[in-house]
Structure 1
C-alpha cells in the first residue's frame, strides 16, 4: 500500500471510530461507499485498499465484485478472477460476479470460460440487452477461433505482405503529407512526425511500405538481440509508451532525436490504451529502419492480438486504415525480439524473470517467439512477470507470469554473469523504481498514464564505460482532445 493510500485508509478509519459505529456490517458498508467514490475518481489503488478493509469487516459478494473490477482496471486479472470466484461463492445469484469473471477471462483470452459466464447471465436475464450483446460477441470470438483451428494446416500461412501490391496503390494529388521514396531518411522522419503532430495521416501506400520493410527486417532478427555500446557512447532505455505519441516526442525533445550518436532501446508496450498508437508505432518503425543498429525495440505483452483487440490498437488501425493493416501488425509483432543484452551485462526485457530456476541466456536465444504469447514458459515470463520485495516466487496478480523476489534476481544474474535487469510493464509514481538492491530496475515512460494516473515518465541513460543507470524523469505534455481508450472494445468493460 502506498503512503497516500495508507493516509486515506487511516482517515476513513478515524471517521468511523469518531462516529462510534460498532456493527461490523455497518462499518463495511461505510467503507464501501468511500471505496466506490475513489473508484469513480479512478483512484483504483485506494479503492482496492478500502474494499479490502471492508471485506475484512464483513465480506459480501458486492464487495468482492467491486474489488474485482478495480483489479481489472489495474490489469491484475488473476486477482480479479479470485474476487469474482469469491463473489459467486458468497452469492451464486449475484450476476455481477459472473460479469466480472467473464471480463477477467476475456482479458486472459480464456474465451470459452467467459462465454459460459455470459451464458449464465443471459439465462437469468434473457431480456437484458447488454448481457445479450456481450454473450453474442463472445460467442462470435469462440466460433472464429474454432473455425481458424479447423482450417489451419501444418503448412506456412501466407503472409499479409504477399498480398500487398504497392505499385497498385495511387497517391492522390490532394495528399499533402510526407512522401516516402526509396528508403526512410532523417528528413522523412522529421516530416512524418510534424504531420502526426498536426493530426495528419501517413498515406496508406507509405504506411504499408514501412510495414513491409520492417517485417522483412524483424524476421531476420534473433530472439535476444545483443547490443554493444562503445566507451563514452550514451545509450537510452525507455519503458512503456502506450500510444502516448506526444509524450514520446517530448522524450526526443528532452534527450535528442535518435541517431547513430544517440541510440535508443524502447522496451515494449508501444501501443494500446493511448489513442495515438498508430502515430507512435510508425515513428518507432521508421526510426528502426533509419537506424537499424542504433534503435532497438523489444516486444511487450501489449504487442499481441488479444491485447490489441481489447485495449484499442486494433480499433484505431481499422479506423485510420483497414482491417488488412491491423492483421499485418499482428503478424509483424510476432517477430519482435523478446529481450536485449547490453555489453553482456545489462539484461532488458519487458516483464521479468522466470517461474523456474536454471533459465540461461542460451535458453532464451532458443525460445520460439514467432507466435502469440503463451500462458506458460520463458516467453510468457519475459513479457508478463513482475518483481516482488519478498524472497521466492508467487503467482502473479495478473493471472499470467509470476512474481519473483530478490533471491531469484541475485541467483539469475550471477548464473548468467549479468550485472542487473531492466524491465518495464508497471506504472511507477516517479517513472522508475529500484528493486532487489539495485539488481532490478523498472522504467516506465508514459507520464500521467491514461490521462489519470498522475505519474511521471522516466528513461535510463548509461554509457559504454559506465553502466550505472542514470534516471531522467519528465511530466506529461498536452495532446489533442482525444481521450485514452477511444478505440477500445467496450465488450471488455471499459
Structure 2
C-alpha cells in the first residue's frame, strides 16, 4: 500500500510540475521549461506528454538533436501518441532531414487523418523530398561543375539613368560608397545588381586567397572587436557600428559567422560586411558559421530573400562565396576564434585546421563540421550534440586543446546569450552573440577584446 501511495503521489506531483513547465514555455522561458519537464519525467517517466513537451522546448532553443531523442522516447512510451511523431518530424524538418520528417508526418496523418496542420506539414515534406530527388537526378558531378562566378562580368551590366542609389566608380569600393549604401539599406532601398555583383565577386577573390586558419596580429595597445551571430539583423549591425565605430584599419572587426538567415535583412547585412572587406581587407575579418551553407539557407530564409531581392544567379553565387570563408582565426598567437567549437578527438593542432580543404559545403562529420557546429557543456568530457550535429565538449577538452597549441583562450559564437556573452570553462572559453533582437530578446550586443602583445590573456 505505501508503494502505491508513493506512486500516486509522484504522478500527482509530476502533473503539478508539468503545469508550471507549460507556464514557463508560454512565457518563452524555454530553458526553465526544460528543467521543469525534466523534474516531471524523473517523477513519472512513463508519461509520453512530458517527453513530447520537452522535445518542443528543445526545438524552440534549436536543440534539435535533444528534441529528436525526447520525441523518440515519447513514441516508445506510447506508439499511438501523435505528438511524439509530430515533434520528431518538426525537428527533422528543421535540420533539413526531409526524408526522415516525411516518415514521421506520414505516421501523424495515419493517427490523425483530419488534422489540417499535419496534412500541411506532410505536403511540405513530400514537396521537399520530390525536389531533393529531382536535384539529385540532374546534379552535375563536382569535378564537372562550372563556377557561376566565372560566368559573370559585372562590367557589362548597365545601370539605368533613373537609378539614384549608391554607385561604385571604377573598381574601387570607397568608404563614401559604403556609407551611402548603408543609408539606402536603412531606408529599405536596394543596391543595383551591377554593384552587388561587383562586391560579391571581389570578396570571393579576397577570400579565396586566404588560408582556412587566418592569423591576425593586433599591435600593442590597439583595439580589436569580435562580433558573434548577426543573423540578418541589419539595424542591429548599424547599432554596433554606431556604438563602436565603422570598420577601419585603426578599428578592425572580426565577424564570427552566421551573418545570414532568420532576420529579414540578411542580404543587407552580407553586402555591408562584404563591402567593408573590399574597401579595406584588414579592417574586417569574416569567419564561416554553420548558417553559411546551402542547406541552412534553404530552410532559414536567406535563399528565398536573395531570390526575391536579386535573382537565382545570386543564390548560387553566395553559396560559392560562403565556401571560401575561412574556418577560424588566431589572434596574436594566443586567442583561437571559431564559430562553433572544438573536436571529438584530442590532439588536433592548428596545422590540422590550416590543412582543411574548406572549399565545399560543410560535411556532416569531421573537423570542419565540428568547428562550425559544436558547443561547450558544463560537465567534463564529451557528449552528444543537443543540435544533432557536432558534439558537446567540456572544460577539460578546452584546456587540453589550448595547452596542445600554446593558446590562452577560445572565443566562439553560435549560441544565444542573454547578456550578449558568457564566460565558461574556468575563464578559458567565451561565447559572444551579437543579434540583440534575435527571437524578440534584447541584450548587450558587443564584446570587445583589447590585446597586448606583451601579455598573456586578454
- What is the TM-score with the length of structure 2 in the denominator? 0.92
- Verify the 8 A CA contact 1:448 1:456 in the aligned structure 2: no
Aligned equivalents of 2:28, 2:163: Cα separation in 1: 41
Q: Residue 3 of structure 2 aligns with which residue?
A: none
- Whether 2:161 is the aligned partner of 1:173: answer yes
Aligned equivalents of 2:395, 2:115: Cα separation in 1: 49
- Whether 2:164 is the aligned partner of 1:164: answer no
Shift of the 154–284 alpha-carbon distance from structure 1 to 2, 3 Å rule, reads: closer
- Whether 2:94 is the aligned partner of 1:71: answer no
Could you tell me which of 223, 227, 234 is aligned with 1:238?
227
Q: Residue 134 of structure 1 aligns with which residue?
A: 121
- Determine helix, strand or coil for the equivalent of 1:229: coil
Q: Residue 424 of structure 2 aligns with which residue?
A: 435
Deviation at 1:252, TM superposition (A): 1.2
Q: Residue 444 of structure 1 aligns with which residue?
A: 433
Q: Residue 250 of structure 2 aligns with which residue?
A: 261
Deviation at 1:167, TM superposition (A): 4.4
- Whether 2:443 is the aligned partner of 1:455: answer yes
- Determine helix, strand or coil for the equivalent of 2:143: coil
Aligned equivalents of 1:257, 1:161: Cα separation in 2: 29
- Determine helix, strand or coil for the equivalent of 1:446: coil
- Determine helix, strand or coil for the equivalent of 2:426: helix
Deviation at 1:323, TM superposition (A): 2.8
Q: Residue 487 of structure 1 aligns with which residue?
A: none
Q: Residue 193 of structure 1 aligns with which residue?
A: 182
Q: What pairs with 1:86-125 in structure 2 (closer than 5 Å)?
A: 86-125=73-112
Deviation at 1:466, TM superposition (A): 6.0
Aligned equivalents of 1:463, 1:409: Cα separation in 2: 21
Q: What pairs with 1:345-364 in structure 2 (closer than 5 Å)?
A: 345-364=334-353
Shift of the 154–172 alpha-carbon distance from structure 1 to 2, 3 Å rule, reads: closer
Aligned equivalents of 2:301, 2:241: Cα separation in 1: 25
Deviation at 1:385, TM superposition (A): 1.1
- Verify the 8 A CA contact 2:96 2:299 in the aligned structure 1: no
Shift of the 95–326 alpha-carbon distance from structure 1 to 2, 3 Å rule, reads: same
Aligned equivalents of 2:452, 2:378: Cα separation in 1: 30
Deviation at 1:165, TM superposition (A): 4.2
Range that drifts further, 271-280 or 294-303: 271-280
Aligned equivalents of 1:162, 1:136: Cα separation in 2: 37
Shift of the 362–174 alpha-carbon distance from structure 1 to 2, 3 Å rule, reads: same
Q: What pairs with 1:52-71 in structure 2 (closer than 5 Å)?
A: 52-59=38-45, 60-71=47-58
Q: Residue 25 of structure 2 aligns with which residue?
A: 39
Q: Residue 321 of structure 1 aligns with which residue?
A: 310
Task: List gaps (5 residues or longer) in structure 2.
Answer: 1-7
Deviation at 1:321, TM superposition (A): 2.0
- Verify the 8 A CA contact 1:274 1:450 in the aligned structure 2: no
Q: Residue 337 of structure 1 aligns with which residue?
A: 326
Aligned equivalents of 1:332, 1:244: Cα separation in 2: 20
Q: What pairs with 1:237-316 in structure 2 (closer than 5 Å)?
A: 237-316=226-305
**Structure 1 residues 188-223: Cα deviation after superposition (integer angstroms, max 9, x where no partner):** 011111111111111222112211221222222211
Aligned equivalents of 2:192, 2:260: Cα separation in 1: 20
Aligned equivalents of 1:126, 1:178: Cα separation in 2: 54
- Determine helix, strand or coil for the equivalent of 1:282: helix
- Verify the 8 A CA contact 1:431 1:445 in the aligned structure 2: yes
Shift of the 466–109 alpha-carbon distance from structure 1 to 2, 3 Å rule, reads: farther
Deviation at 1:143, TM superposition (A): 3.3
Range that drifts further, 162-171 or 60-69: 162-171
Shift of the 136–467 alpha-carbon distance from structure 1 to 2, 3 Å rule, reads: farther
Range that drifts further, 279-288 or 439-448: 439-448
Deviation at 1:157, TM superposition (A): 1.2
Could you tell me which of 384, 388, 396 is aligned with 2:373?
384
Q: Residue 5 of structure 1 aligns with which residue?
A: none
- Verify the 8 A CA contact 2:380 2:393 in the aligned structure 1: yes
- Whether 2:399 is the aligned partner of 1:410: answer yes
- Verify the 8 A CA contact 1:462 1:468 in the aligned structure 2: no
Aligned equivalents of 1:439, 1:398: Cα separation in 2: 23
Aligned equivalents of 2:390, 2:143: Cα separation in 1: 30
- What is the TM-score with the length of structure 1 in the denominator? 0.85
- Determine helix, strand or coil for the equivalent of 1:103: helix
Task: List gaps (5 residues or longer) in structure 1.
Answer: 1-21, 471-494
Aligned equivalents of 1:131, 1:321: Cα separation in 2: 33
- Verify the 8 A CA contact 1:214 1:285 in the aligned structure 2: yes
Shift of the 312–285 alpha-carbon distance from structure 1 to 2, 3 Å rule, reads: same
Count residues in correspondence: 449
- Verify the 8 A CA contact 2:11 2:44 in the aligned structure 1: yes
Range that drifts further, 207-216 or 347-356: 207-216
Aligned equivalents of 1:232, 1:396: Cα separation in 2: 39
- Determine helix, strand or coil for the equivalent of 2:330: strand
**Structure 1 residues 295-336: Cα deviation after superposition (integer angstroms, max 9, x where no partner):** 100011111122222222222222322233222212211111
Q: Output the aligned Cα RMSD.
A: 2.1
- Verify the 8 A CA contact 1:266 1:297 in the aligned structure 2: yes
Range that drifts further, 311-320 or 164-173: 164-173
Range that drifts further, 26-35 or 382-391: 26-35
